[in-house]
């Protein structure tokens, strides 16, 4: 019995949840229930697609994305852990940590009475993770697929000493065109700008895009709304366990320098990320846990 046969034997739920091979021998979870369809890669624990019934995918996946061990998948919802951005002291370590570069273990698959589907994945400390980070931990990812997509990352300190970590649910939202959208919900919210000193304050009710944006809004747990006039839809983006909201679009020049994005790829997505970093990193004592969650739906 091969890996996919074993997973289907243990966790398959009729035609609602099953396992199949993705590109380049990666394994994915295929979910189809009365509310939505979703695709989840075990490599990276990464949600690749989430399509509510009769809707265009809420998530963006680059057509040039790598689906290869050792490379990050560009799009969907990457799991940034145990650091966000470059490693604070060692630039040779992978951008955004190793969580998105490891294969996660399936723990549980459930069909709920509501008809929603819940899958639990796990990544624990190993010789491989300790090449990058010495701490003993368990990361648990709980994904609920229904009318709403819920993604919860729970980190537990299984060691004998405290540790610090940062993380993000780095969600790429598909849009009709970056010129056609606005983001509401961040008025009067302070933020840092990547690469620029000082603090800023958003004074407009909505953020619109006419240049590269890499904003880290802080002290906020507010819900954001992506208004898309061409798709005629509003995506509600809410979160818990995070007080930093990062909004990113690379725009023309930066997009052209990213090898796994088409030169015009910046037009098709915006990232709104639930982040624990920039003064909001998490410290866990032995036995303690913290949960960072994101929720997205059409409203």
Residue 109: left (phi > 0), alpha (psi -120 to 50), or beta? beta
Q: What DSSP letter does each residue of 146-183 carry, written as one string?
A: SSSEEEEEEEEE-SSS-EEE-EEE--EEE-S-GGGEEE
Q: What angle do CA 24, 27, 28 make, to 5 degrees?
A: 120
Residue 97 domain boundaries = 3-298
Burial grade of 108 (CB within 10 A; 0-12, 13-18, 19 or more): exposed
Task: Assign residue 164 the CATH number of its domain.
Answer: 2.70.98.10
What SS3 state is found at 256? helix
Active-site annotation holds for 273: yes
Q: What is the pLDDT of residues 232-246, one digit of tens each?
A: 999 999 999 999 999
Active-site annotation holds for 170: yes
Contact 23, 13 (CB under 8 A): no
Distance of CA 16 to the CA centre of its chain: 23
Give pLDDT, residue 293: 98
Domain count, the chain: 1
Confidence of residue 266 (pLDDT cuts 50, 70, 90): very high
What is the C-alpha separation between 120 and 109, in angstroms, rounded? Answer: 6
Read off the DSSP letter of residue 94.
P
Name the CA radius of gyration of the chain, rounded: 19
**Token duo for residue 91:** 């630039």
Confidence of residue 173 (pLDDT cuts 50, 70, 90): very high
Give pLDDT, residue 1: 76
Mean pLDDT of 114-130: 97
Confidence of residue 195 (pLDDT cuts 50, 70, 90): confident
Give the Cβ contact number of residue 222 at 10 Å: 16
Is 80 exceeded by the pLDDT of residue 181? yes
**Of 116, 140, 273, 297, which is the active-site residue?**
273
Confidence of residue 179 (pLDDT cuts 50, 70, 90): very high
**CA proximity to 242, closest of 179, 163, 168:** 168
**Of 96, 116, 140, 170, which is the active-site residue?**
170
Give pLDDT, residue 150: 98
């Amino acid at each position: 019995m091969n890996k996919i046969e074993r997973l289907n034997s243990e966790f398959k739920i009729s035609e609602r949840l099953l396992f199949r091979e993705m590109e380049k021998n990666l394994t994915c979870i295929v979910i189809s229930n009365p509310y939505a369809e979703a695709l989840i890669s075990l490599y990276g624990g990464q949600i690749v697609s989430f399509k509510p019934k009769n809707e265009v995918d809420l998530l963006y996946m680059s057509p040039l994305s790598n689906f290869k061990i050792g490379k990050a998948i560009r799009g969907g919802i990457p799991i940034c852990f145990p650091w966000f951005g470059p490693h604070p002291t060692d630039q040779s370590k992978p951008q955004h940590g190793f969580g998105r570069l490891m294969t996660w273990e399936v723990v549980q698959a459930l069909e709920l009475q509501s008809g929603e589907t819940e899958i639990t994945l796990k990544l624990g400390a190993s010789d491989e993770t300790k090449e990058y980070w010495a701490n003993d931990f368990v990361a648990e990812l709980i994904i609920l697929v229904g009318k709403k997509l819920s993604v919860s990352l729970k980190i537990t300190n299984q060691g004998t000493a405290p540790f610090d970590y940062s993380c993000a649910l780095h969600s790429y939202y598909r849009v009709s065109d970056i010129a056609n959208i606005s983001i509401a919900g961040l008025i009067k919210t302070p933020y840092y700008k990547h690469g620029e000193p000082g603090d800023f304050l958003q004074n407009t009710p909505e953020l619109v895009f006419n240049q590269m944006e890499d904003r880290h809004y802080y002290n906020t747990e507010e819900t954001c709304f992506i208004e898309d006039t061409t798709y005629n839809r509003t995506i509600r983006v809410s979160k818990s366990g995070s007080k930093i909201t990062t909004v990113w679009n690379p725009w023309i020049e930066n997009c052209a320098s990213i090898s796994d994005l088409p030169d015009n790829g910046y037009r098709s997505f915006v990232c709104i990320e639930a982040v624990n970093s920039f003064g909001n990193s998490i410290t866990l004592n032995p036995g303690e846990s913290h949960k960072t969650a994101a929720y997205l739906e059409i409203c």
